[in-house]
Structure 1
Amino acid sequence: MNNKNRYKKNDYFKLKRKLNQYFLVTVVTAIVFVLILRFLAWRRVGDGIVSLLEHMFYLDHVQALMLYHYTIRNNLEVIIFVAIIISILILFRFMLSKFVKYFDEINAGIDILIHNEEKNIEMSEEMGFMEQKLNTLKQTLEKREQDARLAEQRKNDLVLYLAHDIKTPLTSVIGYLSLLDEAPDMPVEQKAKYVRITLDKAHRLDQLIDEFFEITRYNLQEIPLTKKQIDLYYMLVQMTDEFYPQLAAKGKQTVIHAPEDLTVFGDPDKLARVFNNILKNAAAYSENNTIIEIHAGLKGRMVSIEFKNTGSIPKDKLTTIFEKFYRLDTARSSEKGGSGLGLAIAKEIVIAHDGRIYADSDGKHTIFTVELPVISEQT
C-alpha cells in the first residue's frame, strides 16, 4: 500500500511543484502590488490625486486636499481591502486557467484515443506521467484491435476453408452413391469398396460439421467448472485407450509414466478435453511408427503433465499455437485440418483451473506441458 502511494506521489510530483510555483508567484505578486499601492497612496499618488481633483472640479489646493483626505485617505484601509479581494480573484482566475489548460490537454488526448488517430499524445512536461499512461493505453487498444481483426480474419478464412472441405467429401459421397444407384448389378467387392469410401467421406463430413459448431460455441459460451478430486492416472489410461485405434493405424503408441495414486483437483470433463486435444494434436503431427510419451508427477504444489512426441515446432510458433483459429499446417491438409480451436480451448480451461500450459521443442521432439494445482486454492 505504501509503495503504491509513493508511486502516485512521484507521478504527480512535477505537476504539484508547477502548481505550487504558480501559486507562490501569484501570491507574492499580489502582496507586492498591495504594498506598492499602499506606499504610493501615502506619497506621490496622493499628490497626484489632489492635483487631479483641482483640475477636474476646479477646486483650490486646500479644498482638493480636504476632499482627498475625506474620500480617499480616511478610507485607505477599505481601498486596500478591496485591492486584496481583487488580487485574490485574479489569483483564482489565474490558477483556474492553469487547471483548465491541463484538462484541455487530457481532453485532447482522449479525443485522439476515441478517433483512433495515428499521432502520439503530447502534453506539457509536468503532465508527462499522464502522457505516458495515455500513450500506453493507446498502444494497448491498438494491439487489441489488431488482434481482434486478425482473429476475425482467421475465423473468416477458416470458415471458407471448412466450407470448401465440406463440399469435397460431400461431392465424393454423392458421386459414389450415384454409382451404386446406377449400377445395381455391380460386383460385390467393388460395391464394398465404394461403400467403404463413402462411409469414410461421411465420417470426415461429420467431423467438419462438428468443427463448425465448435467455432460458434467457443465464442458464445464461458467455461463453467465443477471441480473435485480426480484420479489422474486412470484418466490418462482411459484416454490413451480411446486413441488406440487411431494411433495403431499409423504404427504409433502411447506410454504413460506416472504414479498410479496421482490425483489433481479440477473439473474431470474439462480436463479430459484438455488432454484429449493435446493428444489429438500429438497424434496428428507426430511421425509414424513413434512413441508418444506421457509423463506426470508432482512439482511442489502443482501436478505437471507432459506430452512428448517426435516432431518439431518452429520456435516462433510455440506461443501462437495456443491462439484462436491458429493452425500449424498453414497449407491446410484435409487429413489433419481442424478448426484450430483445440489448443486455444485447452489453454482457456487450464487458465480457469489456475494452471498454465506451454509448449517447447528441441528440433526433434515437441513437449506440451500442463501444470495444475494439486488441491483447491481455497482450502
Structure 2
Amino acid sequence: MRIWGGYLLVLMAWVVAVMALAFLGFIICASITWQPSPLYDFLNWVRDYIVLVCIVTVLAGWVVISFYFISKPIKQLDVVANAAEQLSRPSEEPIQLPDSLEDISIQLNLAREQALRDARAAREAEQRKNDLIVYLAHDLKTPLTSVIGYLTLLRDEPQISPEIRARYTGIALEKAERLEDLINEFFDITRFNLSRLELERQSVDLTRMLEQVASEFRPIFAESGLSCSLDLPPKLHYSCDPDKLARVFDNLLRNASYYSLPDSTVEIAGRIEAGKIVLTFSNAGKNIPQEKLDRIFEQFFRLDSSRATRTGGAGLGLAIAKEIVELHGGTIRADSTEDRITFTICLPSDHSEAP
C-alpha cells in the first residue's frame, strides 16, 4: 500500500508540475509582443500546441514513473522469493533483505525460527517414539519368556504341590498382565499416530461421570494405600464427548496412581468460575522440576524415563488428554509446588447446559 501511495503521490506531483510549467509558458508566450521573427513564430507555435505538448509530457512522465514503481516491487518480489526459498531449507543463518524490506525480513526470520523449532521438536518426538518402540520390543521378551517358562513347568510337573502350583500360576498371571500393558502401549502409539480425534457431543453430568471414574480407581488406589476425595457440586451439566472426556479423567487418575506418595489422598474438585467449568486433580507427590513440567504434555515424554519401572506408559496419556481438552475448546495445565501435583482443566461455558 505504501508503494502505491507513493506512486500516486509522485504521479500527481508530476502532473501538477507539468500543468504549472505549461500555464507559465502560456502566459510568457501570450505576453510577448515582439516583431515577427523565427523566435516569435516558434513561440506562437508552442502556444498553439501547448495542450498537445502537455499531454505528451504527462504521458511520457506517467510511463517513466509507472515503470519505476512497477519494476521496484517486482525486483523486491524476486528478492523475497529467493529469501522464501530458504524456508524450505531451514538453516541457522538469518535471512538478509534490504533495509526497505525490514518488516518482511523480520517475519521471514520468525517463520524460519519457528520452522527450526518445529523440525527439532518433530525429530525429538520421532526419536523418543523410536527409542520407546525399541525398549518395548525388548521388554516384551522378558514377560513372555517368564509366562512360557512357568506354564511349561506346570505342564511338565503335574505332581507339584498346590502351593507351588498356585505360586507359579500367580507369577505367570502377573507376567501376562505386564505383557498386556506393553501391548496396549504399542496400540496407544499406533492409535495416536493414525487416528484423528473427532467429538460426538451430548449433554452429561460431569459430577456423576467423575464419581463413576473415581469409583473404578478405588481398587487401584487401595493397592498403594491411596484414597480419593471429591468436592463437586450436586450437578455439573456440560455438552461434551463423554467417552473422550472420561479418557482424560482416566489418564489423570492413572497418572496420580503412579506418582502419588503412599497413604495419601487424591483430590478431585469442580466448580464454576467466571462462567467456566474448572476441574482440578491433585495428589501428593515429589515436586516435578520446571524443565520436566514444561514438557509434561509432550508426546512420548515420561517423567520416569527408566523402563525398569512400571510407572507410566508410552508417554501418551497426558498428550492425548491435552488434545481432547483443546478439542472441547478448553485448556489444561500442570502445577507442582510443596510436594503436590495439580492438573487444572478449564472448559468453556458456551457448551454447558442447565439441567
**TM bracket (short chain):** 0.7 to 0.9
Give the aligned partner of residue 270 of structure 1: 244
Distance of aligned partners of 1:76 and 1:306 in 2 relative to their CA distance in 1, 3 Å threshold = closer
**What is the TM-score when the length of structure 1 is the normalising length?**
0.78
Determine what percentage of the aligned residue pairs are the same residue. 39
- Separation in structure 2 between the aligned mates of residue 265 and residue 99 of structure 1, nearest angstrom: 52
Deviation of residue 81 (structure 1)?
7.0
Give the aligned partner of residue 298 of structure 2: 323
Deviation of residue 329 (structure 1)?
0.7
- Does structure 2 retain, via aligned residues, the 8 Å contact 1:226–1:266? yes
Given the alignment, which residue of 302, 320, 323 partners 2:276?
Answer: 302
Give the aligned partner of residue 137 of structure 2: 163
* Secondary structure at the counterpart of residue 267 of structure 2: strand
* Secondary structure at the counterpart of residue 259 of structure 1: coil
- Separation in structure 2 between the aligned mates of residue 236 and residue 139 of structure 1, nearest angstrom: 42
Give the aligned partner of residue 58 of structure 1: none
Distance of aligned partners of 1:89 and 1:262 in 2 relative to their CA distance in 1, 3 Å threshold = closer
Give the aligned partner of residue 176 of structure 1: 150
Q: Which structure has the larger Rg over C-alpha atoms?
A: 1
- Separation in structure 2 between the aligned mates of residue 159 and residue 334 of structure 1, nearest angstrom: 16
Q: Which amino acid aligns with 1:169?
A: P
Give the aligned partner of residue 187 of structure 2: 213
Give the aligned partner of residue 348 of structure 2: 373
Alignment map for 1:197-346 (pairs within 5 Å)? 197-311=171-285, 312-346=287-321
Q: Which amino acid aligns with 2:163?
A: E
For residues 97-156 of structure 1, the C-alpha deviation after alignment (integer angstroms, 9 at most, x for no partner) is 322221122112112112324322222222222222222222222222222112111111
Q: Which amino acid aligns with 1:300?
A: A
Q: Which amino acid aligns with 1:209?
A: I
- Separation in structure 2 between the aligned mates of residue 171 and residue 318 of structure 1, nearest angstrom: 37
Distance of aligned partners of 1:85 and 1:238 in 2 relative to their CA distance in 1, 3 Å threshold = closer
Alignment map for 1:69-148 (pairs within 5 Å)? 87-148=61-122
Q: Which amino acid aligns with 1:144?
A: D
Deviation of residue 243 (structure 1)?
1.2
Distance of aligned partners of 1:90 and 1:214 in 2 relative to their CA distance in 1, 3 Å threshold = same
Give the aligned partner of residue 127 of structure 2: 153
List gaps (5 residues or longer) in structure 1. 1-11, 43-64
**Does 2:330 correspond to 1:355?**
yes
Distance of aligned partners of 1:336 and 1:158 in 2 relative to their CA distance in 1, 3 Å threshold = same
- Separation in structure 2 between the aligned mates of residue 22 and residue 327 of structure 1, nearest angstrom: 64
Give the aligned partner of residue 7 of structure 1: none
Distance of aligned partners of 1:84 and 1:160 in 2 relative to their CA distance in 1, 3 Å threshold = same
RMSD across aligned positions (CA): 3.2
- Does structure 1 retain, via aligned residues, the 8 Å contact 2:7–2:65? no
**What is the TM-score when the length of structure 2 is the normalising length?**
0.83
- Does structure 1 retain, via aligned residues, the 8 Å contact 2:282–2:343? yes
Deviation of residue 79 (structure 1)?
8.4
- Separation in structure 2 between the aligned mates of residue 231 and residue 199 of structure 1, nearest angstrom: 37
Deviation of residue 285 (structure 1)?
0.6
- Larger deviation, residues 275-284 vs 337-346: 337-346
Distance of aligned partners of 1:168 and 1:24 in 2 relative to their CA distance in 1, 3 Å threshold = farther
Q: Which amino acid aligns with 1:252?
A: L
For these two proteins, the number of residue pairs brought into alignment is: 337
Deviation of residue 318 (structure 1)?
2.1
- Separation in structure 1 between the aligned mates of residue 308 and residue 83 of structure 2, nearest angstrom: 48
- Separation in structure 2 between the aligned mates of residue 270 and residue 117 of structure 1, nearest angstrom: 40
Deviation of residue 170 (structure 1)?
1.0
- Larger deviation, residues 107-116 vs 150-159: 107-116
- Does structure 1 retain, via aligned residues, the 8 Å contact 2:237–2:353? no
- Separation in structure 1 between the aligned mates of residue 83 and residue 193 of structure 2, nearest angstrom: 33
- Separation in structure 2 between the aligned mates of residue 235 and residue 298 of structure 1, nearest angstrom: 16
* Secondary structure at the counterpart of residue 114 of structure 2: helix
- Does structure 2 retain, via aligned residues, the 8 Å contact 1:306–1:368? yes
Distance of aligned partners of 1:23 and 1:326 in 2 relative to their CA distance in 1, 3 Å threshold = farther
- Separation in structure 1 between the aligned mates of residue 222 and residue 183 of structure 2, nearest angstrom: 26
- Separation in structure 2 between the aligned mates of residue 84 and residue 378 of structure 1, nearest angstrom: 70
Deviation of residue 90 (structure 1)?
3.6
Deviation of residue 16 (structure 1)?
5.4
For residues 192-235 of structure 1, the C-alpha deviation after alignment (integer angstroms, 9 at most, x for no partner) is 11110111111111111111111111122222222222222222
Deviation of residue 181 (structure 1)?
2.8
- Separation in structure 2 between the aligned mates of residue 127 and residue 84 of structure 1, nearest angstrom: 31
* Secondary structure at the counterpart of residue 134 of structure 1: helix
- Separation in structure 1 between the aligned mates of residue 146 and residue 255 of structure 2, nearest angstrom: 27
Give the aligned partner of residue 189 of structure 1: 163
Q: Which amino acid aligns with 1:155?
A: K
- Does structure 1 retain, via aligned residues, the 8 Å contact 2:238–2:352? no
Deviation of residue 248 (structure 1)?
0.8
